[in-house]
Chain A
Amino acid sequence: MSKNVVILFGTESGNAEFAAEDMAAVITDRKVQVFDMSDFSSENFESTNLYILICSTHGEGDLPSGAVPLYESMKSLKPDLSDIEYAIFGLGDSSYENYSRGSEHFDALLTSLGASRIGEYGRHDAQTGTLPNECAVTWTQEIIAQS
């Protein structure tokens, strides 16, 4: 049976949330829930779900503020995520030095906690003048088809 999907977004100016809503809307064959990372706790991961993370980059390659509490709590509580699958989509702007680094912090942490990433690493570059929605939706459809 295919897993339910939980989309976690980490945002500063709302682009990741905006895209997360469109991503959820195209997943029609199973249950989807969308959470702001700041409303999600590191104890909530369940192996019956596929986690899709979408997260922007701020400061100098840092996490957006809404993602920091979850990141910090995962880092200190070190939950065992060896039966967790996730896919990840990073938002950034290639005019900055640390392009798309925000999501990579999560990717590294999830991997170190034993979780396994599925599919391509998704990216959106704000330097294109577009919002991530369109390419995040296409990417989501590919991830869902693979999982």
Chain B
Amino acid sequence: MRLARANILSRFWGNLGVITLSSPSIAIVGSGPSGCYLAQYLRKAFPDSRISIFERDPVPYGLLRFGVAPDHIGTKAIAQQFERLFKRDGVEFIGNMEIGKDKSLRELRNEFDIVVIATGLNEDRSLGISGEYLEGIYSAGRITRLLNSHPNENSEGILVGSNIAIIGQGNVAIDLLRLSLLDSEELRSFGVTRKISDLMGKQDSKTISVIGRSPIEKAKFDITMIKEISKFSNVKFTSDIDYTKIIDEDSKQRSEAINFLVTHSPTNAKRIVNFYFGWSTLSFFGSNRVAGVDLVSKQKKMRISVDTVYTAIGFQEAKSASIKKSEHTSGKFDLDRGFLDDGLYCVGWFRRGPVGTIPVSRADAKHVSDAICSDYYSKMQGKVEIR
């Protein structure tokens, strides 16, 4: 028995163990980056376990497939790591299966020793201001799903004009800016359908206002995202950054990245991008379709005429979500470890909230995988008789 125990432990510590006592069966709900990275780690920890991933979409990879911008080819390639899970490593993919709707979480917990929720947070946050439901206002989630050909998203009613406001300055907002600067042919070269690439890329001239609530020092974009925009040579960039207020190193870098765009752009161009920092969106106006947006910064008010708006102010749990976090955070849960209940864990955006890149989801998956293994082995240790 001593030998068997040593082997369980050695497997846990990553050496080549030989004897497998028992392997827990594992269900992962959601096949986004965090679910798939978790499956990679758990497969290494439990080579003989049954591991199944349940996904409500027909195809795997969540936001890696349906959120990440189609021109981020390097990031999209990560999916090829995950393909091996299903092709070679014996992880089962069950698509078109929404847990909490097509099959209950309780049923799943009866069937599997360990269940992990990796369902993300998929609903666009709304601004909650007047005029928000005017025609011509579209959420980033919907637009990025369309750009990535999500089977359940449709372009009905979408009409993109030539005077666009993007509300938000996180990485998703900058994705939308960059994609709005590609013409329809370029969009198509990244796999965007003809219909969507024509909708977004046919306009000859364009004015895009990128409006953020935060001042430049707190703007949410990564600097690399701004540097990427500098590849557009025939776009005129402007910004309202107050350079006298730039003090710390990080905001200096941010404002320099924007300033680089501004100073290197031509004086005249058919396409114009205006960055507005520190402006809250008060309301949209228009009769049927949006005609403009009212903004406020400190005491000042400003009105910008637009015919199209993309809102990109983050994500949240959908009111209609089939699995809700609040239903699992009342007992002996410990979110820091991803522990919700005996045999029930969570990972990724569902666990941490809707922030963080794919590498962050990988680190998260490692962390939760370690917690799952350590709980499992302490439970098993109790069961192994040591003489």
Q: Are B359 and A12 in contact (CB under 8 A)?
A: yes
In this assembly, does A24 line the interface, its C-beta being within 8 Å of a C-beta of chain B? no
1/0 per residue, CB under 8 A from A, across B61-80: the answer is: 00000000000011111101
Q: Are A127 and B73 in contact (CB under 8 A)?
A: yes
In this assembly, does B40 line the interface, its C-beta being within 8 Å of a C-beta of chain A? yes
1/0 per residue, CB under 8 A from B, across A74-104: the answer is: 0000000000000000000101110000000
Residues of B within 8 A of A32 (CB): none
**Contact A129 to B227, CB < 8 A, known contacts A13-B358, A13-B359, A14-B40:** no
Q: Are B73 and A15 in contact (CB under 8 A)?
A: no
In this assembly, does A130 line the interface, its C-beta being within 8 Å of a C-beta of chain B? yes
Q: How far is the CA of A15 from the CA of B74 in the complex (A)?
A: 10
Name A60's contact: one of B73, B76, B227 (CB within 8 Å): B227
In this assembly, does A131 line the interface, its C-beta being within 8 Å of a C-beta of chain B? yes
Q: How far is the CA of A59 from the CA of B224 in the complex (A)?
A: 7
Q: How far is the CB of B368 from chain A (nearest CB, A)?
A: 15
Name B80's contact: one of A58, A93, A97, A131 (CB within 8 Å): A131
Q: Are A15 and B224 in contact (CB under 8 A)?
A: no
Name A97's contact: one of B37, B40, B227, B359 (CB within 8 Å): B227
Q: Which residue of A lies closest to B40 (CB)?
A: A14
In this assembly, does A121 line the interface, its C-beta being within 8 Å of a C-beta of chain B? no
Residues of B within 8 A of A128 (CB): 73
Q: Are B37 and A127 in contact (CB under 8 A)?
A: no
Residues of A within 8 A of B37 (CB): 14
Q: Which residue of B lies closest to A130 (CB)?
A: B77
In this assembly, does B130 line the interface, its C-beta being within 8 Å of a C-beta of chain A? no
1/0 per residue, CB under 8 A from B, across A104-147: the answer is: 00000000000000000000001111110000000000000000
Q: How far is the CA of A93 from the CA of B37 in the complex (A)?
A: 22
Residues of B within 8 A of A131 (CB): 77, 80-81
A residues 40-93 in Cβ contact with B at 8 Å = 58-60, 65, 93
Q: Are A60 and B223 in contact (CB under 8 A)?
A: yes
Residues of A within 8 A of B84 (CB): 18
Interface size on B, residues (CB 8 A): 18
Q: Are B40 and A127 in contact (CB under 8 A)?
A: no
**Contact A129 to B77, CB < 8 A, known contacts A13-B358, A14-B37, A14-B40:** yes
Q: Which residue of B lies closest to A60 (CB)?
A: B224
Q: Are A15 and B223 in contact (CB under 8 A)?
A: no
Q: Are A14 and B224 in contact (CB under 8 A)?
A: no
In this assembly, does B142 line the interface, its C-beta being within 8 Å of a C-beta of chain A? no
Q: How far is the CB of A83 from chain B (nearest CB, A)?
A: 28
Q: Are A129 and B224 in contact (CB under 8 A)?
A: no
Q: How far is the CA of A130 from the CA of B79 in the complex (A)?
A: 10
Q: How far is the CB of A56 from chain B (nearest CB, A)?
A: 10
Q: Are A126 and B227 in contact (CB under 8 A)?
A: no
Residues of B within 8 A of A96 (CB): 224
B residues 314-361 in Cβ contact with A at 8 Å = 358-359
Q: How far is the CB of A145 from chain B (nearest CB, A)?
A: 26
Q: How far is the CA of A59 from the CA of B253 in the complex (A)?
A: 13
Q: Are B362 and A14 in contact (CB under 8 A)?
A: yes
Name A126's contact: one of B40, B77, B228, B362 (CB within 8 Å): B77
Q: How far is the CA of A58 from the CA of B228 in the complex (A)?
A: 14
- Most-contacted residue by chain A among B81, B228, B358 (CB, 10 A): B81
Name B81's contact: one of A18, A58, A126 (CB within 8 Å): A18
Q: How far is the CB of B63 from chain A (nearest CB, A)?
A: 14
Q: How far is the CA of A97 from the CA of B228 in the complex (A)?
A: 9
Q: How far is the CA of A65 from the CA of B81 in the complex (A)?
A: 19
1/0 per residue, CB under 8 A from B, across A18-52: the answer is: 10000000000000000000000000000000000
Residues of B within 8 A of A18 (CB): 81, 84
**Contact A14 to B78, CB < 8 A, known contacts A60-B223, A60-B224, A60-B227:** yes
Q: Are B78 and A13 in contact (CB under 8 A)?
A: yes
Q: How far is the CB of A19 from chain B (nearest CB, A)?
A: 10
Name B76's contact: one of A12, A14, A15, A129 (CB within 8 Å): A129
Q: How far is the CB of A10 from chain B (nearest CB, A)?
A: 12
Q: How far is the CA of A13 from the CA of B359 in the complex (A)?
A: 5
Q: Which residue of B lies closest to A133 (CB)?
A: B80
Q: How far is the CA of A14 from the CA of B34 in the complex (A)?
A: 12
Q: How far is the CA of A71 from the CA of B315 in the complex (A)?
A: 36
Q: How far is the CA of A59 from the CA of B357 in the complex (A)?
A: 12
Q: Are A15 and B81 in contact (CB under 8 A)?
A: yes
Q: Could you list which residues of chain B lie within 8 angstroms of chain A, going by C-beta atoms?
A: 37, 40, 73-78, 80-81, 84, 223-224, 227-228, 358-359, 362
Q: Could you jot down 21 A-B contacts, CB within 8 Å?
A: A13-B75, A13-B78, A14-B40, A14-B78, A14-B81, A14-B362, A15-B77, A15-B78, A59-B224, A60-B223, A65-B359, A96-B224, A126-B77, A127-B73, A127-B74, A129-B74, A129-B76, A129-B77, A130-B80, A131-B77, A131-B81
Give the 7 A-B residue pairs with the shortest CB-CB distance, closest first.
Answer: A126-B74, A93-B74, A12-B359, A129-B73, A131-B80, A13-B359, A18-B81
